[in-house]
Amino acid sequence: MSSLQNVGRSLARCAAQNVARRRNIQSVRCQSTAASVNVQPVEDEPAAPMVKTPIPGPRSKELLKDLESIQNSEAVQFFVDYDRSHGNYITDVDDNVLLDLYTQIASIPIGYNHPNLLAAMQKPENLGHFINRPALAVFPPKDWAEKLRNTLLTVAPPGMAEVQTMACGACSVEHAQKALFIEYKARQRGGAPPTEEELTSCLMNQAPGNPDLSILSFKGAFHGRTMGALALTHSKAIHKLDFPAPDWPTASFPQLRYPLEDFVQENRAEEDRCLAEVRDLIEKYQKKGRSVVGICVEPIQCEGGDNHATAYFFQGLQDIARENTIGLMFDEVQTGCAASGKFWAHEHWNLREPPDIVSFAKKMLTGGFYYRQNYRPQQGFRIFNTWVGDPAKVTLLEEVVKVIQSQNLVANMANLGAYLQQGLKDAQTKFPGVVKNARGLGTLCSIDFNNSATRDKALLALRGKGIHVGSCGDVSIRLRPTLIFQKKHADLFFDCFDSVLSSFK
């Protein structure tokens, strides 16, 4: 039987079965938000996956060979026909149509070729933003402040009213690090200007102009691949091998046991252990003459394995930051923009006050970071590069925000997150020797396999059935659907997931 016939039979089975009852969805609905959701289907979205060739197919392999003549292309999985990708479906150059639950590494907010975004590209008043990419820090367009208010400040984390745009996640993190250092040194100087010795020594990479300071991060963290961001990244050796990195403190991130309700005391003890380690490291580096100016943490360690912690842990980090008069930075590059069931994942933690810095990118289309007022530099050119972002991306984000608000997509992510998490929990109950540790925050969901080899086989098997998901950590798969993902898409995924897991029993 061909792979196409297999997929067709699988989809017919999905339509015939009462999958909602099989996964006890009634109880999930009782837990979901009561807000009305009005997700509009994207024009031309396929009804189902369609697999015609192995993936990568012959055309993808031809293109890969061509690209390989120009650059190392070992990371390429398949080539995409973006003109024919719509909504929650991605189409490759061999006409394979896949339900996409990975979405360009969690960076597609409202699906492929959304009509609102296509329309924005064609509006005459927007053409200047697409054609003339301005150096925003020195020559911004006349409506730049208005655009920022209509987009980034409309969805700003509670209690934060200032924002700096950037181009990507890594440069957002790097410049946010600079903001932490600038604020710390300005406070140390007590309002005095830098000394002549500082101004001259910094040009030679020497103290006192280049002070021996540090930022605390966590084992398993991922904050980007550029050199400054790599100082905070500790997820995979391939990211860091051969690159010099500063001696900065790296604390343990909690390794929770699941199901959470069965290990409350054990998990609290684990979080207390990690918080104590953070305190000890700050003290240790202070004594080493390498003072910590801030703590940088992800609400979920995504690349590192979708590692979670509770509100208690994050509240504890904020307490430690306040005790030591240092900054607390949340890296929300992957977790921001509604995917968690709140617009910003850190909103789940009920912090006593806003964080000091929140970085963003991916689903936000532009990079950048929000900051509290005391982290605004007092001089121009301190947080700076040629473009510091792209007004064309902010123009598109303006449309994304309108769709999120009009269709109540934050509530959609809360509802769908409960649905997805219940489905993953049912899978681990049905296949206890294959998968475990189902977890999630909104639609930021994942599950572990018994080993990495089985996980990798499952990824390929799902792709063969027309389902595209991502991996993270050593043994996990992660789901990162669009904000317009619906239960019908989840049912297609779970039917195929069940089939794949059954083959491993």
Q: How far is it, in rounded angstroms, from Cα 353 to Cα 321? A: 12
User: What is the distance, to the nearest Å, from the Cα of residue 58 to the centroid of all Cα atoms in its chain?
Assistant: 32
Q: Is 242 exposed, middle or buried (0-12, 13-18, 19+ CB in 10 A)?
A: exposed
Q: Of 362, 363, 393, 425, which one is the catalytic site residue?
A: 362
Q: How far is it, in rounded angstroms, from Cα 57 to Cα 94? A: 6
* DSSP H or E run through 397: helix 391-406
User: What sign does the CA torsion over 201, 204, 208, 211 have?
Assistant: positive
What separation in angstroms does the CA of 173 have from each of 2, 359, 370?
A: 47, 6, 11
* DSSP H or E run through 357: strand 357-360
What separation in angstroms does the CA of 27 have from each of 14, 382, 426?
A: 21, 52, 13
Q: Of 280, 386, 429, 474, which one is the catalytic site residue?
A: 386
Nearest to 214 by CA among 290, 275, 328: 290
Give the burial string for 168-192 (b: 16+ CB within 10 Å, else e). Answer: bbbbbbbbbbbbbbbbbebeeeeee
- The 10 Å Cβ neighbour count of residue 115 is 16
CB 442 within 8 A of CB 339: yes
SS3 62: helix
CB 419 within 8 A of CB 406: no
Is 495 labeled as catalytic in the residue annotation? no
Q: Of 78, 79, 222, 497, which one is the catalytic site residue?
A: 222
DSSP 8-class letter at 86: B
Is 222 labeled as catalytic in the residue annotation? yes
Q: Of 92, 331, 390, 448, which one is the catalytic site residue?
A: 331
In sequence order, the β-bridge partners of residue 100 are 468
DSSP string, 122-135: H-GGGHHHHHS---
Q: How far is it, in rounded angstroms, from Cα 311 to Cα 347? A: 10
User: What is the distance, to the nearest Å, from the Cα of residue 415 to the centroid of all Cα atoms in its chain?
Assistant: 19
The tokens for 114 are: 């959304």
Is 61 labeled as catalytic in the residue annotation? no
In one-letter notation, the amino acid at residue 180 is L
SS3 letters for 171-220?
Answer: HHHHHHHHHHHHHHHHHHHCCCCCCHHHHHHHHHCCCCCCCCCEEEEECC
Q: How far is it, in rounded angstroms, from Cα 437 to Cα 25? A: 20
Q: How far is it, in rounded angstroms, from Cα 200 to Cα 207? A: 10
In one-letter notation, the amino acid at residue 452 is S
Q: How far is it, in rounded angstroms, from Cα 21 to Cα 43? A: 29
Is 236 labeled as catalytic in the residue annotation? no
Residues with catalytic annotation?
Answer: 222, 331, 362, 386
